[in-house]
Structure 1
């Protein structure tokens, strides 16, 4: 009896480019949408759950679930890049989905806030493994010519799913209560994501190795010190502190997620305090990530034409202005405008920062550089939860929003002063010669 060869273990020619790898690219976009959906199940419901069912009145205590999520995700982002370089991208992706499976069940059954904290530790680990890996895999597939577009698609899928799921859970919570209905979506997302990743996703490490053989240094000599054989410690140091573009991207990413942590944890409470229904809070909670998600389809591609730096600076400034409007407003319509502006500003920044890291990092250690960048970026959730919670407890929620708005504007100024343009105007690499085998895992 003949057996059918699993699709991930069939050798295929390695070619770089979006068109050449379209089926796998589209599949990975769908997988990352499911990753985003796992995060979106919490955006509307969990802050309200902490206040209404578990009686958390202090803002700092209520934001602990975001802090532990960010801490776990940031740490795992770093090791995910190292593991992806060492063992391959696909095993790391599958491991992330396995960790995600119990998360919605813990949220449904949680008798105490400690269970919610445990669920968010697992969610952070899962997001660090799955989202980091889909980022690296798409960069692997498309090569240098369409890096911004690839990141636009990846982040658009993830954050559009965050927005749609936040909206859906808001309506489910209003109709059926805060538990269990909203979290049933998470069970479905985890099951489908694990199935697709196990049965259909292919390994892409061979694409990165092919690109490394064709890597062309910058003509201005900026990257001459960033050779192929950097140690893990050197990659961390260059990405975090020494290399101007990489370190500028890392601090901007941290501040970007600092204000996202504020939006996630305190916006629903601010809106509820103004008398908005759970359904309307769900609309606002969904509007910001939905605009953020869809907008990246445009901004990622624009960064391939206009360059990275100007979009990052403009996006940080727009986010700061939007946060100021949130602090000033007191009705649904004004907050909806602010949510759209905040989403648009974040869309300008999010895929562009990832593309800039991909521009600078050598293909031999790019996955590790992405991991370090995402370590700093998702550390922003921790900083945001602690800072926003402390300021809100001392001075009120609106004061916390003003504080984060000021930090966001300052971060944009740092990028304007310190970062150089990372995009090189070069042609796409030639296709791989016929018959080059693709690395695979059985």
Structure 2
């Protein structure tokens, strides 16, 4: 597919040809993969250390209080996701990506020098806004470049890079914290990632919005309702409620991040209470996103072949089983098996959800639909922090994990019952 395009300082000249496809845009695509690995690493600086910081440095004795940083992060990221799509349609993808990195600059300083828990919460508001802009934009830019045929593979590579970045940093910060303390060492790594990510985004990343416009010119809607010219309110209601596939994906994304918020905030505390060392806690905190990240290299491409629905519904049920194992376990071996299974289930779901949005949404409003899906998905962090904190304070962490396991299983059943099964075959 090749179309000419014009206008704008950031778009190609009239003599340029826009070609969609992974092979055709491989150099730019791989640079975006590297940038998203740094986005993930910026988030990973907190996965092992922050729950322990809440308990050991700030002496927060209520889980609900300790999880306020995840609540703040989730709300900030969810809201920013919504605006990221609109902003990237209006101003282009690259300016939004660069803005996200600039906003992240103060976060490591707040985490290192914060004298009270309020500073840590503020750092996570900053980090949530940054992640909403940077991660959302790398998703959109990869969708722009590859076109419809390899979208699942593209999302698998994108999310694999991000969550392998999370995993590697979670493992590294665990070892840094065990040797040099909870502050400042682990967060210096995050500061380095932000500096490199900003430099790469400014110097090496090109604009991709014109690729989406080229695709829109020849797009064939998957089904009635997936057409151009929708207003923001129409895109929101279609993505959130009206379209069976889009709304199924949105609720599954929300529940997925609900259980991820639980894993982020309470798993390290549960493992520490059982007497595990910081090194072993770091291993468990890293294995989950490592399996999640690496598995997406397989599941994203697999969803292009067998469809989105089986992987989403099945993945939610696998996650539910893994959470049940965490709730019942009390030793390193059981928990290691559980986090491997949790990572595998999440790998089945995560890139497939994004690819499913791209299948149904018209290229003209796809960025807005992705932003709305990510609004619901990352709102799951906030819901998970509140729900799991309240239940853990009242009945203990295992009870909170068991409740979230039940919700995750229910989400998988909803996808199986409601989502269309063949949208990915309608494009091309």
TM-score (normalised: structure 1): 0.93
Give CA deviations for 1:213-265 in whole Å, capped at 9, x if unaligned.
Answer: 110133xxxx2223200000000000000100000000000000000000000
Asked whether 1:155 is paired with 2:159, we answer yes
| Superposition deviation, residue 426 in structure 1 | 6.1
The residue aligned with 2:204 is 200
Residue correspondence of structure 1 range 68-83 to structure 2 within 5 A: 68-83=72-87
Deviation at 1:422, TM superposition (A): 4.2
Higher relative contact order (CA 8 A, sep 6+): 1
Q: State the partner residue of 1:404.
A: 404
Q: 1:8 touches 1:199 (CA, 8 Å); kept in 2?
A: no
- Cα deviation 1:251-310 (Å, max 9, x = unaligned): 000000000000000000000000000010000000000000000000000000010000
C-alpha separation between the residues in 1 aligned to 2:109 and 2:208? 32
| CA deviation string 1:35-81 (max 9, x = no partner) | 00010000000000010000101000000000000000000000000
Q: Which residue of 2 aligns with 1:98?
A: 102
Q: State the alpha-carbon separation in 1 of the partners of residues 127 and 424 from structure 2.
A: 36
Matched, 1:389 2:389: yes
Aligned match of 1:436 = none
- Say whether residues 1:43 and 2:21 are aligned partners: no
Asked if the contact 1:145/1:426 (under 8 Å) is kept, the reply is no
Where in structure 2 are the equivalents of 1:5-404 lying within 5 Å? Answer: 11=13, 12-218=16-222, 223-404=223-404
1:351 is displaced (CA, Å) by 0.2
Q: Structure 2: how far apart are the matches of 1:135 and 1:210?
A: 18
The alignment covers a number of residue pairs equal to 418
**Structure 1 unmatched runs, 5+:** 1-6, 429-442
The question of whether the paired residues in 2 share the 8 Å contact of 1:304 and 1:423 is answered with no
Matched-pair contact (CA < 8 Å) for 2:154–2:300: yes
Q: What secondary structure is seen at the aligned counterpart in 2 of 1:144?
A: coil
Partners in 1 of 2:127 and 2:96 — Cα distance? 15
Runs of 4+ in 1 over 4 A off after TM superposition: 7-12
Distance 1:427 1:395, change over 3 A: closer
The unaligned stretches of length 5 or more in structure 2 are 1-8
Deviates more, 1:133-142 or 1:209-218: 209-218
What is the match of residue 438 of structure 1? none
